[in-house]
């Protein structure tokens, strides 16, 4: 009976992980296809489609744009998120709980709504569709996340450390730069990498807010419109690989300290 | 008369609705070791925070070296604090921790390092310069916090329950070191604690606080032998407290009516007024040839062996509400259940203000 339950549990686990990872495995597998179509039978392995991706200037430019937007928007989101977390954690504000809720609210709103809202707003204000506009959109969605992560890690035990710095003659700016930021570094880097991950494969906002210069996910979508091709698999695998690296960096930074 | 180093004048403080300090005035002399002693909630830590500049009092003023520092932020006043949790900078080496205050004052790197080294040497941690806070024990971190606060040569060093996190043996050892350190650097120390033994061992000037007020202050010997109030008699060491009314006062002798019988003492008082007396445990005599002042008979309850003495609790036969607390030699024959005569000498009776 117990053996049966164990088999059942194993089968269930296999199905579950299969369900989650099979699409990715298929994507990566057929990116190594040697022939023209990403359909069985598997004819590889071959790196020919990766070479094709790297030779395609539209894709490589999109890649650069994606990196630019991801790094830029994450830097802004982390800076603003850190400052607001610090403000909420260290100073008394009237209606603090309500304002904190308001900051994290964009997390619950769909990217489509945020993208459309920004599109309408930018139209009105006269900001043209561009990488910068998409970057602003990514700040809107990632700022709440950075705020939530950093705020959760900003405990009371750091208050006395900051007080000690002030007591020894440090100005507010020096307290922030020499004490608070270094002490909070793991949470700051973790939220930076998570923000990068989300910006990196974000499609809807970039699609709505860019025109001539655009990010990699939008370029991939353009590529897909002309039909399936192992090149889309290859570029998709590249996007996936980068995401994995960023998420692992995030997890290592945020959870490493708790184990030690 | 010279102005004191620190002069706290009529300071009151409220946190929202809660009033934590009521019209407190305190003078701290240069080179003194002041201990603020009181139970939690007595306002001692708030008073220390006001001295350090972390809290601006609702009313009153704080003068340091004659200057009004009431609203001067911590960074700009000549005080430094040793925090209860030490608050070392975890991302900096011990040397950088100690040198931080000098760095903020714009002292150059070489001088900083040299002064940080000598401050660490002062607290006996000369070889910890390149180590990190998490590599040190609690007692060592305590010393680093001390060195870090002393290296900037403050006018007053504030210590917030600095020994609270250490075990008893280490606490007694650090206590001796603190006292020696204070004498050698000559800086005024203000130390907050709820441990009366620590207070007696360290203080030149002991300030007993309760409920936002200063109950008593002075040399620890004086506060112990002649406590001003019932609170300080019971908080600074233990006492047996007996209350009564003044039955008569004639030619410098007053007669008190108490639950354990009439007591005559030298002094003046208005007949009919209420009165409290305290006797320290080491001055109560049980079962021995009676002292000159009888306090009736009592039944011995708990007898607790405490190493060098035995702590004895006895209940008065006349009024079970009165518990005598005595300290007897270990060889004394008194045992639980005995009925003994209680007495003391008139000069050991402490008159209390309620």
Complex ipTM > 0.90: no
Whether pTM exceeds 0.90: no
Are A116 and A208 in contact by the 8 Å Cβ rule? The answer is: yes
Neighbours of A166 (CB within 10 A): 23
Which whole number is the average pLDDT over B29-49?
92
A168 to chain B, any CB pair closer than 8 A? The answer is yes
* pLDDT 10s digits, A35-54: 777 777 777 777 777 887 78
Task: Enter the tokens of residue A67.
Answer: 């990196």
Is-cis flag, bond preceding A29, omega within 30?
Answer: no
Residue B1 within a domain: no
Task: Enter the tokens of residue A233.
Answer: 């698999």
Answer whether residue A9 shows pLDDT above 50.
Answer: yes
Same domain, B95 and B199: yes
CA distance linking residue B51 with residue B311, whole number of Å: 39
Which whole number is the average pLDDT over A62-83?
93
A to B CB pairs, distance under 8 Å: 61
- Candidate from A103-117, A226-240, B309-323 with smallest mean pLDDT: A226-240
Beta-strand pair B33-37/B188-193: parallel
**Given pLDDT bands bounded at 50, 70 and 90, which one contains residue B111?**
very high
The verdict on a CB contact (< 8 Å) between A169 and B101 is: yes
**List of chain B residues whose C-beta atoms are within 8 Å of the C-beta of residue A160:** 83-85, 87
Q: Which of A168, A170, A175 to mutate to test the interface with B (most CBs of B within 10 A)?
A: A168
Mark which of B197, B212, B235 sits at the end of a domain: B235
The verdict on a CB contact (< 8 Å) between B54 and A163 is: yes
* Nearest beta carbon to residue A183 from set B80, B90, B105: B90
A165 to chain B, any CB pair closer than 8 A? The answer is yes
> Does an H or E element contain A193, and which?
helix A181-200
Three-state secondary structure of B122-165: HCCCHHHCCCCHHHCCHHHHHHHHHHHHHCCCCCEEEEECCCCC
The verdict on a CB contact (< 8 Å) between B73 and A182 is: no
DSSP secondary structure string for all residues of B5-69: SEEEEEEEEEETTEEEEEEEEEEE-TT-EEEEE--TTSSHHHHHHHHHTSS--SEEEEEETTEE-
Residue B155 within a domain: yes
Range of the domain at B300: 240-352
CA distance linking residue A250 with residue A89, whole number of Å: 23
A183 to chain B, any CB pair closer than 8 A? The answer is yes
Residue B192 within a domain: yes
Residue B134 within a domain: yes
Same domain, B178 and B322: no
CATH of A65-259, one of 3.40.640.10, 1.10.10.10, 1.10.3720.10, 3.40.50.300: 1.10.3720.10
Same domain, B281 and B297: yes
Hey, what's the torsion of the CAs at B286, B292, B297, B302, to 10 degrees? -20
Which chain B residue has its CA at the smallest distance from A186's CA?
B91
Mean pLDDT of chain A: 86
**Given pLDDT bands bounded at 50, 70 and 90, which one contains residue A255?**
confident
Which whole number is the average pLDDT over A182-192?
89
Which whole number is the average pLDDT over A108-116?
89
Q: Provide Rg for chain A, Cα atoms.
A: 23
The CATH number linked to B229 is 3.40.50.300
**Given pLDDT bands bounded at 50, 70 and 90, which one contains residue A260?**
very low
Same domain, B47 and B71: yes
Same domain, B222 and B78: yes
Are B159 and B145 in contact by the 8 Å Cβ rule? The answer is: no
Same domain, B103 and B222: yes
Give me the pLDDT at residue A222, please: 85
Neighbours of A97 (CB within 10 A): 9
Total number of domains in chain B: 2
Domain segments of chain A as ranges: 65-259
Mark which of B235, B256, B290 sits at the end of a domain: B235
B67-68: strand order across its sheet = B18-28, B6-15, B59-64, B67-68
What SS3 class is residue A229? coil
Give me the pLDDT at residue B154, please: 92
Closest C-alpha among B120, B190, B80 to residue A170: B80
> Does an H or E element contain B337, and which?
none
Dmax over CA atoms of chain B, in Å, equals 75
The verdict on a CB contact (< 8 Å) between B101 and A166 is: no
Closest C-alpha among A241, A240, A256 to residue A189: A256
Closest C-alpha among B32, B11, B36, B8 to residue B21: B11
Residue B285 within a domain: yes
Answer whether residue A96 shows pLDDT above 50.
Answer: yes
The verdict on a CB contact (< 8 Å) between B83 and A164 is: yes
Mark which of B211, B235, B259 sits at the end of a domain: B235
A157 to chain B, any CB pair closer than 8 A? The answer is yes
Q: How far from A105 is each of A31, A111, A140, B151, B299, CA to CA, in Å?
A: 39, 12, 10, 48, 71
Give me the pLDDT at residue A259, please: 44
Same domain, B227 and B255: no
Task: Enter the tokens of residue B164.
Answer: 């609270």
Same domain, B159 and B121: yes
Distance from CA of B213 to the nearest CA of A (A): 26
A90 to chain B, any CB pair closer than 8 A? The answer is no
Answer whether residue B180 shows pLDDT above 70.
Answer: yes
Answer whether residue B291 shows pLDDT above 70.
Answer: no
Q: Which of B75, B105, B135 to mutate to test the interface with A (most CBs of A within 10 A)?
A: B75
Q: Which of A156, A167, A173, A187 to mutate to test the interface with B (most CBs of B within 10 A)?
A: A167
């Amino acid at each position: 009976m117990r053996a049966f339950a164990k088999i059942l549990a194993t089968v269930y686990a296999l199905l579950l992980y299969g369900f989650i990872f099979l699409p990715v495995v298929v994507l990566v597998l057929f990116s190594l296809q040697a022939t023209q179509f990403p359909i069985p039978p598997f004819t590889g392995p071959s790196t020919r489609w990766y070479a094709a991706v790297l030779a395609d200037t539209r894709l490589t430019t999109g890649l650069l744009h994606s990196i630019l937007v991801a790094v830029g928007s994450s830097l802004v989101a982390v800076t603003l998120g850190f400052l607001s977390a610090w403000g909420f954690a260290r100073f008394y504000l009237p209606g603090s709980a309500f304002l904190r809720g308001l900051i994290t609210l964009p997390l619950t709103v769909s990217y489509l709504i945020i993208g459309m809202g920004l599109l309408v707003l930018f139209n009105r204000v006269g900001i043209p569709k561009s990488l910068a506009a998409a970057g602003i959109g990514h700040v809107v969605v990632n700022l709440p996340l950075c705020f939530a992560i950093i705020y959760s890690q900003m405990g009371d035990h750091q208050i006395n450390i900051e007080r000690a710095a002030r007591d020894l003659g440090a100005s507010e700016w020096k307290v922030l730069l020499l004490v608070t930021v270094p002490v909070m570094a793991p949470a700051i880097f973790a939220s930076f990498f998570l923000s990068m991950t989300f910006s990196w494969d974000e499609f809807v906002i970039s699609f709505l807010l860019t025109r001539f210069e655009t990010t990699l996910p939008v370029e991939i979508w353009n590529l897909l419109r002309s039909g399936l091709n192992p090149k889309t698999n290859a570029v998709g695998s590249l996007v996936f690989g980068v995401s994995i690296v960023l998420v692992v960096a995030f997890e290592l930074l945020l959870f490493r300290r708790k184990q030690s | 008369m010279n102005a004191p180093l620190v002069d706290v004048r009529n300071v009151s403080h409220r946190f929202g609705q809660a009033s934590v300090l009521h019209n407190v005035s305190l003078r701290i002399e240069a080179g003194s070791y002041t201990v603020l002693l009181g139970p939690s909630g007595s306002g001692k830590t708030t008073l220390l925070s006001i001295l350090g500049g972390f809290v601006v009092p609702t009313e009153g003023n704080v003068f340091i070296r004659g200057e009004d520092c009431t609203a001067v932020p911590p960074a700009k006043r000549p005080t430094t604090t040793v925090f209860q949790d030490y608050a070392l900078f975890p991302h900096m080496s011990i040397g950088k921790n100690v040198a931080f205050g000098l760095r903020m004052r714009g002292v150059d790197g070489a001088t900083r390092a040299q002064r940080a080294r000598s401050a660490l040497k002062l607290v006996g941690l000369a070889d910890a310069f390149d180590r990190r806070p998490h590599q040190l024990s609690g007692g060592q971190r305590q010393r680093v916090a001390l060195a870090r606060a002393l290296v900037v040569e403050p006018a007053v060093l504030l210590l917030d329950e600095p020994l609270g996190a250490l075990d008893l043996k280490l606490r007694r050892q650090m206590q001796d070191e603190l006292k020696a350190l204070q004498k050698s650097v000559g800086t005024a120390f203000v130390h907050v604690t709820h441990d009366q033994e620590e207070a007696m061992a360290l203080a030149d000037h002991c300030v007993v606080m309760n409920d936002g007020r200063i109950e008593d202050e002075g040399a620890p010997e004086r506060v112990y032998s002649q406590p001003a109030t019932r609170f300080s008699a019971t908080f600074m060491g233990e006492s047996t407290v007996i209350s009564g009314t003044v039955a008569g006062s004639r030619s410098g002798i007053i007669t008190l009516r108490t639950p354990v019988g009439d007591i005559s003492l030298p002094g003046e008082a208005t007949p009919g007024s209420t009165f409290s007396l305290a006797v320290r445990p080491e001055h109560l005599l049980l079962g021995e040839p009676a002292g000159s002042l009888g306090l009736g008979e009592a039944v011995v309850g708990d007898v607790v062996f405490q190493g060098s003495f035995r702590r004895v609790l006895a209940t008065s036969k006349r009024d079970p509400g009165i518990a005598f607390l005595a300290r007897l030699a270990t060889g004394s024959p008194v045992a639980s259940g005995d009925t003994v005569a209680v007495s003391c000498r008139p000069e050991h009776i402490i008159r209390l203000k309620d």
